[in-house]
Structure 1
Amino acid sequence: MRKKIFPVLVTCLLSACITSPTGRSQLVFMPEAQIDQMGLQAFDDLKKQKPISTDSKYNQVTNCIAGAITREIGGNWEVVVFKDNTPNAFALPGNKIGVHTGMLQLVYNQDQLAAVIGHEVGHVLAKHSNERASQEMAVNQGLSVIQAVSQPQTALGQTALGMLGVGAQYGILMPYSRTHESEADVIGVDLMAKAGFDPQQSIGLWQKMERASQGQQPLEFMSTHPSHATRIQDLEKHMPQAMSLFQQAQAAGKQPHCN
């Protein structure tokens, strides 16, 4: 079986190098339709397992912010606010966004929530789920990850869903790498700026996350999205470009009022 798999993997590896939105070379060769289906399956399962918030204010604010950000990239996105006090948020392939009420309670303003949502959407835009699945398939599992897509309830299927980055709370922990986190930070801060949100608030957000984690168990959002001192430093270095995008958005009349 391995002799049959190897030539297939070699062919994939030779033809699967793409460039991410930040210019980084990526190994991505799983079909996008399959990755999207995994995201859709995971999101449907979450909606069955977790209570959905009916708070009109939370839903209005979240949909307003997510709508402004996703208009910059196009597509139809489903946004769901989950009734959960843990400060967490995620975006999945297939254009799905989930935000916990705990995250809404943590952030100070619309710009900080925009930083969270922009960061999560950045993972989707950069095809990080596909990249992780492709690496897992090439290095460890051979073709078995593709087989797992059609069997999401199996142990291997759960591992495959874990590559989507939903997090430990759902029993499938496979955090994004530091490279993916840094890339999502840059993509996300540019996205929020293009939508008219103040990118400087992203730094305040991560500082607040760090303070909220001190002296206690790390917040779930921080445990699945590891924060390092370099995260804020990288954002500060990138801020002049993001502020230029923000000023262009403001001049174009993009001034969201989602609070």
Structure 2
Amino acid sequence: MLKRFYWCLIALISISLMACSTSPTGRKQLILLPDSQLDEMGVASFQEMKAELPQTENEANIKQVECIADRIINVLPDKYRNQAWEVRVFEDDQVNAFALPGYKIGVYTGLIKIADNASQLAAVMGHEVAHVLARHGNERVSTQLATSQALNVTYELSGEDSKTKQAIFQGLGIGAQIGIILPFSRTHETEADEIGLELMAKAGFDPRESVKLWQNMSKLGDSKNPEFLSTHPSNESRIRDLNAKMTSPLANYLRLKEQNNIARCE
């Protein structure tokens, strides 16, 4: 019975995951919601963050982040470049940054303290903007909706309710989380690293600094969870993948350097 339920579930999910869209790297995506809805969600979330978190008064930090954002936005496709992006620096020790649908960018001062230079900061900001370009927010919500619906439909089609049935579907829910939703999140992170590497290089930042940044991150300590239970690749995996994708971004950066057109956001 378990095998029958399992293959029914996989069939339903596989049908729903057949290509509705294509990411910038050519990967097939499931997109169920209009982008305008994600934009509204992103704007609302950003407004909440601005109300809850203090914004820095450090003019040097603000100037640097805005300089990096301007360079990155300037190399985006027209659809994204010609938008009224909003950039804020939050006074918080989180070593992180984010970009949201609705064209919002936030950087925490904790990240600025860890980044050794503007290129390292640009590596994170380019990665976050890449999530928006690749519509990862929409894809993640769509995947979760499809998985939930598939489980519900399979549950209804699988006969009378029982403790055995409940236990089986509880196990299937855990399996879907580990086997579908978490790997999708890791796929998003890896894809955003690849796209972000290209963005930062085209914007005039040294892509080799992305590797040095993650080496710095490794010194902060990794999660105790194994990678297959994480939504993010390990630092070691990230460094390996970034090095593997370095050829084209580095060529773009060196070309700009020859033209004396690299970024100067220090």
- TM-score scaled by structure 2? 0.74
Could you tell me how far apart the structure 1 residues matched to 2:113 and 2:183 are? Answer: 24
Could you tell me how far apart the structure 2 residues matched to 1:82 and 1:141 are? Answer: 38
Distance 1:87 1:99, change over 3 A: same
**More displaced 10-residue stretch of structure 1: 205-214 or 12-21:** 12-21
Which residue of 178, 188, 193 corresponds with 1:185?
A: 193
Could you tell me how far apart the structure 2 residues matched to 1:98 and 1:251 are? Answer: 32
Deviation, 1:257, is: 1.1
2:234 is the alignment partner of 1:232? no
Deviation, 1:29, is: 2.0
Deviation, 1:14, is: 8.6
2:189 is the alignment partner of 1:210? no
Could you tell me how far apart the structure 2 residues matched to 1:208 and 1:54 are? Answer: 26
Distance 1:184 1:87, change over 3 A: same
Deviation, 1:91, is: 0.7
Q: CA RMSD in A?
A: 2.6
SS of residue in 1 equivalent to 2:94 = coil
User: What does residue 209 of structure 2 align with?
Assistant: 201
Would you say the 8 A contact 2:190–2:233 is kept in 1?
no
2:249 is the alignment partner of 1:249? no
* Identity value in percent: 47
2:261 is the alignment partner of 1:258? no
Distance 1:244 1:116, change over 3 A: same
How many residue pairs get aligned? The number is 214
Would you say the 8 A contact 1:16–1:29 is kept in 2?
no
Would you say the 8 A contact 1:81–1:99 is kept in 2?
yes
Q: 1:212-254, CA deviations, whole angstroms, 9 ceiling, x for partnerless residues?
A: 226x999xxxx87443422111111111111112123334543
Structure 2: 5+ residue runs without aligned partners? Answer: 1-11, 151-181
Which consecutive aligned stretches of 4+ in structure 1 deviate over 4 angstroms post-superposition? 12-16, 223-226
SS of residue in 2 equivalent to 1:54 = coil
Structure 1: 5+ residue runs without aligned partners? Answer: 1-8, 143-173
* Greater gyration radius: 2
Larger helix share, 1 or 2? 2
Could you tell me how far apart the structure 1 residues matched to 2:131 and 2:56 are? Answer: 24
AA in 1 matched with 2:38: I
2:81 is the alignment partner of 1:58? no
Would you say the 8 A contact 2:253–2:262 is kept in 1?
no
